[in-house]
């Protein structure tokens, strides 16, 4: 029987996992090497953190599995076969080599329960599985990183024993949960490079891109995992921002969320419409830049006279899709006589690069 997301057998001790990429470049049997490596490493990290919890190992600054336990409780994967983007994996090594192992079965049970709780938004159950708040947030952060980035159409499915999970949807749920927390606390976002971190005081200094100015901040324990993994990247920090008399940011209090600032082009292959779907003849690349002054991501796309900005990449991509949808409905179908010369140029570009597919009549 195929795996099902509605499976109720939460005690299934099966240690087998299966990953499958779909959509985007996966339809041509390719996926970016950086994405594949990031997915496997993040999944390995969720296994490691779960093993630390099942073995009762105390929380540490870096929270790594001791070397002598890595082979016993590690994640083992098979190389994908030619023409396939499916990957088999197993907790602790091939079963034929290990045989029965109660500790591994306990790891598999808790690993599966954690993912099921995350998929269902059951935060109290996750807190029961990971009683330490710092380790819990480290696990959630790693789980979110297993899924492909929100831009583009690439999706990832994960089978754990008899349960199938859509990791792209789970990552969106986690992002929405963090966003709702931030809005309740009236938090703001700011971009910069990590210049210094003090793990004892849980403080850091952020270098702002526009004038290389340093501002100080404090962070909650769950942020350490991200800071350790991204010491030199351009990051976005969410927290209570303190501004000086001139209106410039001067301090970040209790930063609760960190994320990489992703300036890779937005790739769009299709756009869903109320009466059908827009299909691009080939993936459209929309360039993304960082506006240092406004502290937001920006899209300037001349063929469509498009200029948009947002602090969050997911929001920016949604704005781009909505703008193309609006232009298609208002310009692509309009007679040339009703359009200005500039609008006619937009219509010509749309017709040259997109085709509308109508929903089949029922």
How far is residue 329's CA from residue 334's CA, in Å, rounded to a whole number? 8
Strands 234-243, 188-198: parallel, antiparallel or unpaired by DSSP? antiparallel
pLDDT digits (tens, 9 = 90+) for 270-303: 998 777 889 999 999 999 998 877 678 999 999 9
pLDDT of res. 96? 46
DSSP label at residue 6: T
Rounded mean pLDDT, 171-193: 69
Question: Which stretch of 19-28, 35-44, 141-150, 178-187 has the lowest confidence by average pLDDT?
Answer: 178-187
Instruction: Answer yes or no: do 254 and 288 share one domain.
Output: no
Instruction: Answer yes or no: do 154 and 212 share one domain.
Output: no
Decide: 301 and 288 in contact? Cβ < 8 Å: no
pLDDT of res. 25? 82
Q: Which residue has the tokens 């970016």?
A: 32
CATH of the domain at 244: 2.40.50.140
pLDDT of res. 290? 86
Task: Classify residue 329: in a domain, yes or no.
Answer: yes
pLDDT digits (tens, 9 = 90+) for 21-48: 888 888 888 888 888 888 999 999 999 9
Largest CA distance in the chain: 76
pTM over 0.75: no
pLDDT range class, residue 110, cuts 50, 70, 90: very high
**Strand ranges (E), 208-248:** 214-219, 234-243
How far is residue 336's CA from residue 350's CA, in Å, rounded to a whole number? 13
Instruction: Answer yes or no: do 175 and 198 share one domain.
Output: no
pLDDT digits (tens, 9 = 90+) for 293-335: 767 899 999 999 999 998 888 889 999 999 999 899 889 889 9
Decide: 230 and 119 in contact? Cβ < 8 Å: no
Instruction: Answer yes or no: do 347 and 288 share one domain.
Output: yes
pLDDT of res. 231? 84
Task: Classify residue 330: in a domain, yes or no.
Answer: yes
Instruction: Answer yes or no: do 207 and 312 share one domain.
Output: no
pLDDT of res. 359? 62
Task: Classify residue 334: in a domain, yes or no.
Answer: yes
Instruction: Answer yes or no: do 109 and 235 share one domain.
Output: no
DSSP string, 77-117: EPPPPTT--EEEEEETS-HHHH---HHHHHHHHHHHHHHHH
Domain around 176: 16-181
Question: Which stretch of 25-34, 89-98, 120-129 has the lowest confidence by average pLDDT?
Answer: 89-98
**Strand ranges (E), 9-143:** 16-22, 75-77, 86-91
The domain total for the chain is 3
pLDDT of res. 83? 60
Instruction: Answer yes or no: do 94 and 190 share one domain.
Output: no
Task: Classify residue 243: in a domain, yes or no.
Answer: yes
Instruction: Answer yes or no: do 34 and 147 share one domain.
Output: yes
Task: Classify residue 1: in a domain, yes or no.
Answer: no
Instruction: Answer yes or no: do 35 and 166 share one domain.
Output: yes
Rounded mean pLDDT, 252-259: 81
Read off the tokens for 71.
């082979």
Instruction: Answer yes or no: do 193 and 307 share one domain.
Output: no
pLDDT of res. 361? 53
Which position has the higher pLDDT, 128 or 2? Answer: 128
pLDDT of res. 181? 53
Q: Which residue has the tokens 């963090």?
A: 178
pLDDT of res. 352? 94
Rounded mean pLDDT, 245-266: 80
Instruction: Answer yes or no: do 222 and 271 share one domain.
Output: no
Mean pLDDT of the chain: 82
Task: Classify residue 3: in a domain, yes or no.
Answer: no
pLDDT digits (tens, 9 = 90+) for 214-245: 888 888 777 888 888 888 888 988 888 877 65
Task: Classify residue 103: in a domain, yes or no.
Answer: yes
Task: Classify residue 11: in a domain, yes or no.
Answer: no
* Domain boundary residue, one of 217, 243, 260: 260
Contacts of 322 (CB under 8 A, 6+ apart): none
């Amino acid at each position: 029987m195929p795996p099902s997301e509605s499976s109720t057998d939460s005690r299934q001790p099966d240690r087998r996992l299966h990953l499958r990429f779909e959509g985007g470049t996966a339809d041509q049997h390719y996926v970016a090497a950086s994405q594949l490596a990031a997915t496997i490493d993040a999944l390995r990290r969720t296994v490691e953190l779960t093993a630390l919890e099942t073995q009762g190992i105390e929380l540490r600054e870096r929270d790594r599995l001791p070397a002598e336990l890595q082979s016993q409780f590690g994640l083992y994967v098979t190389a994908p076969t030619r023409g396939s983007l499916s990957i088999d994996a197993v907790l602790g090594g091939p079963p034929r080599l290990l045989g029965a192992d109660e500790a591994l079965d306990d790891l598999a049970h808790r690993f599966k329960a954690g993912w099921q709780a995350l998929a269902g938004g059951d935060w109290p159950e996750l807190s029961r599985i990971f009683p330490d708040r710092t380790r819990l947030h480290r696990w959630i952060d790693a789980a979110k990183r297993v899924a492909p980035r929100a831009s583009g159409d690439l999706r990832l499915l994960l089978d754990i024993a008899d349960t199938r999970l859509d990791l792209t949807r789970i990552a969106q749920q986690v992002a929405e949960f963090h966003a709702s927390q931030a809005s309740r606390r009236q938090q703001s976002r700011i971009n910069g490079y990590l210049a210094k971190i003090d793990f004892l005081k849980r403080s850091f200094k952020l270098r702002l891109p526009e004038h290389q100015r340093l501002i100080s901040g404090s962070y909650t324990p769950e942020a350490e995992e991200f800071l350790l993994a991204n010491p030199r990247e351009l990051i976005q920090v969410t927290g209570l921002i303190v501004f000086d008399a001139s209106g410039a940011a001067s301090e970040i209090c209790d930063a609760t969320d960190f994320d990489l600032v992703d300036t890779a082009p937005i790739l769009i292959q299709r756009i869903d419409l109320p009466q059908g779907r827009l299909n691009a003849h080939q993936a459209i690349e929309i360039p993304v830049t960082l506006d240092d002054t406004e502290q937001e991501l920006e899209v300037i796309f001349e063929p469509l006279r498009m200029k948009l900005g947002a602090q969050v990449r997911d929001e920016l991509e949604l704005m781009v899709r909505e703008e193309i949808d609006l232009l298609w409905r208002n310009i692509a179908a309009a007679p040339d006589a009703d359009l200005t010369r500039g609008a006619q140029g937009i219509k010509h570009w749309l017709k040259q690069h997109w085709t509308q597919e109508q929903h089949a009549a029922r």
